[in-house]
Structure formats: C-alpha cells, structure tokens
DNA sequence: ATCCTGTTGG
DNA sequence: CCAACAGGAT
C-alpha cells in the first residue's frame, strides 16, 4: 500500500525547471526591449520619485497618473519638501486621485523617514513594509525599481501572468495562492539586481499590454511557448 | 480572513 | 445600480 502523503498545509509548490525559467526570462526581456512604454518613473532611480509613482499607480490608470505625477513632484520635489509641507497642501495636490488615506499615509511616511531615518527611504523590503501605506507589493517595487535590488514583486498584473503561464489551477487571491505566486516570482528572478529591474518592469508591462485581464493577446505573446494557458482563451 | 476606499464595467 | 477591482490595514 502506498504511503499516505503527510498532511500538508504548505503552499502548493510549483516548481519551474531552470530551462523553462531562463527561456521565460529571455523572451520576456527581448519583448520588453522593443515594446516597453517610456514612462517618467522608468528613467529615474530616485527612491522618492519611485515611491510617489507606485503609490499613485496603486489606484489610478497610467494616463491620469502622468498629469498628477509631474505636478506633485513640482510642488514637492523631495522627501524633505513633502515632510515640511502642510497637510492641506498635500491633500490639494492629491485632489482628484481618490483614496485619500494613502495621501495621508504618504505624508506620515515622509515625516517619519525624515525624522527617524535620516531622510533615507529603506532599501530592504522588510524595512519598507514597516512604513505606513507600504505593503508587500510596494516594498518589492521600491527595492527593485529604486535600489535595483534582487527582490520579487507581485501585483495583480504579475499575479495574472504567473498564474496563466505557470499555475492555471491556482486561485490567486487565496492566501495559499498568493504565497505560491510569490514563490514562483522568486524562482524566476534573474541573477542580478540590475537584471531584476528590467525583469520586474517587463512582467508588469506584459500583464498590462498583452496578458490583459479581459482580452489576452496570446497570438502575439512572447512567452506563449512556455505558457500553460495559451490557446485556452 | 475580512474590511476599507473610490473607480470602473456590466 | 450593483459587483468587481487593488492594494493595504486590522
């Protein structure tokens, strides 16, 4: 009689072979080089600017963020400037973006980092997580996009891509599903932080432009050769 | 695990 | 008008 498998509450382990992972990374990277949009937060490594862009993008489409982003940075060019500002002025600059608790968190964060951390936005995801309004996703994004650290990140775009390509049966919004997705994202990370910057940007860009929620464009997808869902749409 | 917040799509 | 969304918070 076969041994009973041990009662396991571990996240469903999805293992990806080194070959598949490297094929995925390579095709994704080549695609990104050609198809990426040039967005202002992709040409800076200023942690403050990256932070602002990530917080704004959490809740708003790229097109609208573009207007607010420039204006906000014009009014508050640095973390210090933001920390010194009156709450009222910060809220005015955010007016129209919605989710105003996040603007209040941002201001709180600016004050906290200037007074308690010498004005340096933390480099490590664990430290970033402790700041108000920073969750797992934003922590990974700031570590990767501002500091070029070799850190994974999973937002809904990335979750959708990884689910479709590697784990079609996964329920992405369950607790176990999300654990599994972070594990997959980490297995896929390239060798260096510099490469990780592009890799993460590319994952999100693929989710936005090709592996869309509604009408995925499988015929033009760069990773369809390794995708478990291709042609099920 | 469930709730919170404004926006978006059906 | 309701449901889904998207991250974070509790």
**Nucleotide with smallest C1' distance to residue A99 CA:** B5
Question: Are A65 and A131 part of one and the same domain?
Answer: yes
For residue A231, the model assigns a pLDDT of: 76
Is A139 in the same domain as A156?
Answer: no
| Three-state DSSP class for residue A27 | helix
Residue A1 lies in a domain: no
Catalytic residue check, A54: yes
Q: How many domains does chain A have?
A: 2
Residue numbers in chain A where pLDDT is lower than 70: 1-12
Q: What is the DSSP string of A156-208?
A: HHHHHHHHHHH-TT--TTSHHHHHHHHHHHHHH--SSHHHHHHHHHHHHHHHH
Measured CA A26 to C1' B5 distance, in angstroms: 39
Q: For A82-129, how does the pLDDT look when each residue is reduced to its tens digit (9 = 90+)?
A: 999 999 999 999 999 999 999 999 999 999 999 999 999 999 999 999
Which chain B positions come under 7 Å from a protein C-beta? 1, 5-8, 10
Please report where in the chains the tokens 């060019």 appear, as a residue. Answer: A77
Domain membership of residue A197 (yes or no) is yes
Answer yes or no: is A210 within a domain: yes
Q: Please list, in sequence order, all residues whose beta carbon lies within 8 angstroms of the beta carbon of residue A231, skipping any fewer than 6 positions away.
A: A218
Q: What percent of chain A has pLDDT over 90?
A: 89
Q: How far apart are CA A56 and CA A227, in angstroms?
A: 31
Contact A103, A91 (CB under 8 A): yes
Catalytic annotation, pick one of A54, A67, A95, A116: A54
Q: Report CA(A192)–C1'(C5) in Å, whole number.
A: 33
A98 C-beta less than 7 Å away from strand B: yes
A32 occurs within a structural domain: yes
Give the nearest nucleotide to A213, CA to C1': C5
Per-residue model confidence (pLDDT) at position A233: 80
Non-local (6+) Cβ contacts of A36 within 8 A are A42, A201, A202, A205
By C1' distance from the Cα of A101, the closest nucleotide is B5
* Nucleotide lying nearest to A102, CA to C1' measure: C8
* Statement: the CB of A212 is under 7 Å from strand B: no
**By C-alpha distance, which of A22, A19, A14, A27 is closest to A224?**
A27
pLDDT at A3: 52
List the CATH number of the domain containing A75. 1.10.340.30
Do residue A30 and residue A70 come from a single domain? no
Task: Determine the structural domain holding residue A132 and report its residue range.
Answer: 46-145
CATH at A217: 1.10.1670.10
How long is the CA A217 to C1' B5 vector, in angstroms? 31
């Amino acid at each position: 009689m076969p041994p009973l498998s041990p009662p396991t509450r571990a996240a469903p382990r999805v293992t990806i072979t080194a070959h598949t992972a490297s094929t995925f990374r390579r095709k994704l990277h080549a695609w990104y080089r050609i198809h990426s949009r040039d967005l202002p937060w992709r040409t800076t490594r200023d942690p403050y600017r990256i932070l602002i862009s990530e917080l704004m993008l959490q809740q708003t489409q790229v097109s609208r963020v573009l207007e607010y982003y420039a204006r906000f940075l014009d009014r508050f060019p640095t973390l210090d400037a933001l920390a010194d500002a009156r709450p009222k002025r910060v809220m005015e600059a955010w007016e129209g973006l919605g989710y105003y608790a996040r603007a209040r968190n941002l201001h709180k964060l600016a004050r906290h980092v200037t007074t308690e951390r010498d004005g340096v936005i933390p480099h490590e995801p664990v430290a970033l997580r402790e700041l108000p309004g920073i969750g797992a996703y934003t922590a990974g994004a700031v570590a990767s996009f501002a500091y070029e650290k070799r850190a994974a990140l999973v937002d809904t775009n990335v979750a959708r891509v990884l689910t479709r390509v590697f784990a079609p049966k996964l329920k992405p919004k369950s607790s176990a599903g999300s654990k599994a997705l972070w594990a997959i994202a980490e297995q896929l990370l390239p060798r260096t932080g510099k490469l990780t910057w592009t890799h993460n940007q590319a994952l999100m860009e693929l989710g936005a432009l090709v592996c869309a929620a509604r009408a995925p464009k499988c015929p033009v997808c760069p990773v369809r050769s390794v995708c478990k869902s291709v042609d099920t749409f």
